[in-house]
């Protein structure tokens, strides 16, 4: 009978390919470096080919090894889907669930919905990973995450999405700004302003540009770009310009302790959608839709904004 690789060996190979370092890969797999190295050697013996080129200074996956890594990811993902399929036949939303969340949603939404989720499904163990959209979608495709909570629209293939809320944009500006006398701010008025946005890589940047009907944002001469909404708020309060903030962040108290003013942004595109996304092949589709219903109901509950227009 032909010897076949084990799932553990495939998992070790994927880890080495991801970290390009045996020590870091071993740590991620919770094994010793010698154990992981032996596992890779056994895998190469079984397959009869070198998959990893080792030197004292570097670790490089061979061309054939890259193909094996890609297929190994698919195998591991399919096996996890089998486990999820069996688990899903019992009580829904129980056991482990690995969810990726983007930074412009995580700190503003999760504290609001987690108590409700714990009460409704106390047996659910939710493991969270916060990162930018592209990276958590990559982890989703590789099977390292079960689903992700992101802002839409976003281009992706082989992914099922469920919109749970619309998140309008507000214009935030210092006290005394000319927008203070407006009920709403027209998008064309922003062309005359110093618009501060998150650095490239954050999908909120693209959604804000779309809301403003701009292709690109003007670059600051100093090259400084914010890495978080909290930094953007501080920059605006320092008089460096104005910015767009999602309602979710405003409702969560992002502007508390500041003197900034906010106004709604006019236009049908002046918002982003909040949605769940998961692999179309996942057997837990019905559970994710249940989770979506919980999020939708929670987000439909009005929350007084902290940056109300003064009377």
Assign 309 a pLDDT band (cuts: 50, 70, 90).
Answer: very low
List the single range of 113-127, 208-222, 233-247 with lowest mean pLDDT: 208-222
The pLDDT value recorded for residue 95 is 84
Name the residue with higher pLDDT: 199 or 72.
72
List the single range of 36-50, 221-235, 290-304 with lowest mean pLDDT: 221-235
Name the residue with higher pLDDT: 311 or 119.
119
The pLDDT value recorded for residue 211 is 76
The reported pTM is: 0.73
The pLDDT value recorded for residue 88 is 57
Q: Is the pLDDT of residue 308 over 60?
A: no
Provide the percentage of residues in the chain whose pLDDT is more than 70: 90
The pLDDT value recorded for residue 311 is 37
The pLDDT value recorded for residue 117 is 92
pLDDT digits (tens, 9 = 90+) for 273-288: 999 999 998 888 999 9
Class of domain 167-271: alpha beta
Do 167-271 and 93-165+273-299 fall under one CATH topology? yes
Cis link prior to 153 (omega < 30° from 0)?
yes
The pLDDT value recorded for residue 298 is 87
Q: Is the pLDDT of residue 168 over 50?
A: yes
pLDDT digits (tens, 9 = 90+) for 7-57: 999 999 999 998 889 999 999 899 999 999 999 999 999 999 999 998 777
The pLDDT value recorded for residue 27 is 92
pLDDT digits (tens, 9 = 90+) for 172-224: 999 999 999 999 998 888 888 888 988 887 888 888 888 776 655 554 445 46
Mean pLDDT score of the chain, rounded to an integer?
87
Domain boundaries, the chain: 7-85, 93-165+273-299, 167-271
CATH fold of 93-165+273-299 reads D-Maltodextrin-Binding Protein; domain 2 (3.40.190)
CATH fold of 7-85 reads Arc Repressor Mutant, subunit A (1.10.10)
């Amino acid at each position: 009978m032909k010897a076949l690789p084990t799932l553990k060996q495939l998992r070790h190979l994927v880890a080495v390919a991801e970290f390009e370092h045996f020590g870091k890969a071993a740590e991620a797999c919770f094994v010793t470096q010698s154990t992981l190295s032996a596992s890779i050697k056994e895998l190469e013996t079984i397959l009869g080919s070198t998959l990893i080129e080792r030197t004292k200074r570097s670790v490089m996956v061979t061309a054939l090894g890259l193909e094996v890594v890609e297929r190994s990811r698919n195998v591991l993902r399919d096996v996890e889907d089998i486990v999820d399929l069996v688990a899903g036949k019992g009580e829904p939303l129980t056991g482990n669930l690995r969810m990726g969340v983007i930074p412009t949603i995580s700190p503003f939404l999760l504290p609001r919905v987690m108590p409700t989720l714990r009460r409704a499904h106390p047996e659910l163990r939710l493991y969270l990973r916060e990162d930018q959209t592209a990276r958590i979608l990559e982890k989703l495709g590789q099977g390292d995450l079960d689903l992700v909570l992101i802002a839409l629209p976003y281009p992706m293939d082989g992914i099922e999405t469920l919109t749970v809320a619309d998140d309008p944009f507000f214009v935030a500006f210092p006290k005394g700004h000319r927008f203070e006398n407006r009920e709403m701010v027209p998008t064309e008025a922003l062309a005359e302003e110093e618009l501060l946005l998150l650095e490239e890589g954050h999908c909120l940047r693209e959604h804000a540009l779309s809301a403003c009907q701009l292709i690109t944002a003007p670059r600051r001469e100093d090259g400084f770009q914010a890495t978080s909404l909290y930094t953007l708020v501080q920059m605006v309060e320092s008089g460096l310009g104005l910015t767009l903030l999602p309602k979710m962040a405003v409702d969560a108290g992002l502007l508390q302790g500041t003197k900034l003013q906010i106004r709604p942004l006019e236009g049908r595109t002046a918002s982003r959608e909040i949605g769940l996304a998961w692999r179309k092949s996942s057997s837990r589709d019905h559970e994710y839709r249940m989770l979506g219903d919980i999020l939708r109901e929670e987000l439909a509950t009005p929350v007084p904004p902290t940056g109300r227009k003064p009377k």
